[in-house]
Chain A
Amino acid sequence: MMPLWLDLTIRVVAVVVGFLTLPLIVGQAEHKVMAHMQGRLGPMYAGGYHGWAQLVADGVKFVQKEDIAPRDADRRIFRLAPLVALFPYLLVLLAIPLGPNGLVAQPLDVGLFFVLAVLGVGVLAVLMSAWASANKYSLLGGLRGAAQLLGYELPLVLAAASVAMAAGTLSLPGIIEAWKPWWLLWQAPAALIFFIAGLAEIRRPPFDMPIADSELVFGYMTEYTGLRFAFFLLAEYVGIVVIAALTTVLFLGGWHGPAADHLGWLWTLLKVFAVSFVIIWFRVTYPRLREDQLQRLCWLILVPLALAQLVLTAAVKIAM
């Protein structure tokens, strides 16, 4: 038996390593996938072989840049916002199980509740950066972001509630253990709703109205430079990983697969990367929605569908 402190250190270090490497892999994949989907090559120089070190080079560049805060900005809040954007995702990664037999940094009985609650902090970062920037584009972006994040929180939670109801537990490893392949069909609408609402939560195209670079410059990120801007970007890519991981854990059966006892972590990672690919694919394919289309999609389609899924889940659960 390991001493407690060693055990804790290993877990935390593992999560931080994943937190720092997975987004880079996803980011590099986005560079390359997006390029090839547009008939381009993408980065080819950095690092020598097909530009593998592009994001490292980007990071070095961001570090060198001057850290500017606008004169009228609310400096403390302005400087804090990128960390608030980044930190919740780190906490979420703590609770996501990688494989069976306790291969999770922090097994929580209320894992799902914890994860959804922490994800909700993201809206705070958007509002903080938007208001503190003292910039009208930032503020407009922030208001859009707030409306979007509050709206899509609802279908996200309802879809997650459906699967929690089906599994009869809020623990993420518990949900995976209860998962059966036929849930893919039973929970398919919930999976779709969760995925779409998750896309909106991390403000990925086609739901990037808070950023909307053609209308709002860069939304709430307009005034950020250097390392703080890099934190926002990193948060975006960690967001992809987190949403992909949550979709995997809740709806795609997590570590389930051939030889799950030994290769469970591999199945989880493969599924996470597959879902991340779909997220990138969506970004390349679809144009940005208009603000009213965004709200209509949420309130008129996703929320009713999620409620219907809840009813369906409850009905099947009672019938069994």
Chain B
Amino acid sequence: MTDDGERGTPGKGLVQGLAVTLKTMTKRSTTQQYPDVEPELPPRSRGVIALLEENCTVCMLCARECPDWCIYIDSHKEEVVVPGAARARQRNVLDRFDIDFSLCMYCGICIEVCPFDALHWTPEFEYAETDVLDLLHDKNRLGEWMRTVPPPPAHDVLGEPSKEEATAARKAAGPGAATAAKADVRRARPTTADRPNQEAQPKPESPEPPQ
């Protein structure tokens, strides 16, 4: 009131304040009613880490790279007799794969370094516990999270084919067909790639980019 000094019309600020609150009232509120309505998480949300046990070779890369050292792995070796081979092969068998989510800082390094895609992000985040010890998920529990792993995002139609696919397609086409193979990459894809969610129809495309 009295401290207005050299400011403009007296009372202008008061009216502006009223306008702000009134405008806010007419807008939709941004409150998310979480327990009643599931939140819409963005793609690649980091909720919990899932383990695909068959893919794990016990290479220990994840456990070693983990900044918190929150991955515990135990294994033993088994001999596998391969008929026709000179001697028995050795195979690592996973005994224990625990992730302690009370230590995990969700950096995702373990998932990045895993060479065989045994670890995956899932957007599930509702695994709070009343006892901190229960945050140690064993391999069974980590394996159950696999059900919640979203399918990988579709390939960019305009993107370059991956190196593996390009090489495979070139080999399949035989020597001297390098330039032709490049154009055929997309048609060759279903045969070279074994991923389940590949787009089904190959898209015929001209070598030059579309105008």
Contacts and interface: CB of A to CB of B under 8 A. Distances in A.
Interface stretch (B12-20, B57-65, B107-115): B12-20
B21 interface: yes
B201 interface: no
B85 interface: no
B1 A37 contact: no
A37 B17 CA distance: 11
B1 A293 contact: yes
Nearest to A39: B29
Q: How large, as a class, is the contact surface on chain B? A: 10 to 19
Nearest to B27: A39
Given A44-B33, A296-B1, A36 B20 contact: no
A293 B14 CA distance: 15
A36 B30 CA distance: 10
A36 B1 contact: no
A230 interface: no
A41 B21 contact: no
Given A36-B24, A39-B30, A301 B1 contact: yes
Interface residues of A, number: 19
A254 to B, nearest CB: 25
A200 B197 CA distance: 69
Contacts of A300: 2
B21 to A, nearest CB: 4
B128 interface: no
A300 B18 CA distance: 24
A144 B29 CA distance: 37
A285 B27 CA distance: 16
A35 interface: yes
B18 A36 contact: no
Nearest to A292: B2
Contacts of A286: 14, 17
Contact of B22 (A44, A281, A297): A281
A33 B24 CA distance: 10
B22 A40 contact: no
B23 to A, nearest CB: 9
Contacts of A297: 1
Given A39-B27, A39-B29, A44-B33, A285 B18 contact: yes
B25 interface: yes
A21 interface: no
B31 interface: yes
A293 B33 contact: no
Nearest to B36: A44
Contact of A293 (B2, B24, B25): B2
A284 interface: yes
A36 B27 CA distance: 8
A282 B30 CA distance: 23
Interface of A: 33, 35-41, 44, 281-282, 284-286, 293, 296-297, 300-301
8 contacts: A36-B25, A39-B24, A39-B27, A41-B29, A41-B33, A44-B33, A296-B2, A301-B1
Please name the 5 residue pairs, one residue from A and one from B, whose CB atoms are nearest each other, closest first.
Answer: A37-B21, A41-B31, A285-B17, A37-B25, A36-B25
Given A39-B24, A41-B31, A284-B21, 17 more contacts: A37-B24, A37-B25, A39-B27, A39-B29, A39-B30, A39-B31, A40-B29, A41-B33, A281-B18, A281-B22, A282-B18, A285-B17, A285-B20, A293-B2, A296-B1, A297-B1, A301-B1
